[in-house]
Amino acid sequence: MSPRRTSRAAVVLAALLIALAAGALIAALAAAGVGGRSGPTSGSGATAAGDAVRLTVTFNRRPGQRRVAHVRCSGSTATADGFLRTVGAARACAHARKIVGLLTSGPPTDRACTEIFGGPERATVTGRIGTRTIRHTFKRTDGCEIGDWRRAQPLVPRPG
DSSP string over the chain: --HHHHHHHHHHHHHHHHHHHHHHHHHHHHHHT-SS--SGGGTTT---TT--EEEEEEEESSTT-EEEEEEEEETTEEEE-GGGTTT-HHHHHHHHHHTHHHHHSPPPTT---------S-EEEEEEEETTEEEEEEEE-SSHHHHHHHHHHTTSSPPP-
For residue 54, give the amino acid letter: R
* Angle, CA 74 vertex, CA 77 and CA 139 arms, to 5°: 105
CATH of domain 40-152: 3.30.350
Higher pLDDT, 43 or 113: 113
Residues above pLDDT 90, as percent of the chain? 59
30 has pLDDT over 90 = no
pLDDT tens, residue by residue, 117-159: 999 999 999 999 999 999 999 999 999 999 999 999 999 999 8
37 has pLDDT over 60 = no
Question: pTM of the prediction?
Answer: 0.70
Half-sphere exposure of residue 142: CA atoms within 13 angstroms, side-chain side: 10
pLDDT tens, residue by residue, 63-97: 788 999 999 999 889 999 999 999 999 999 999 99
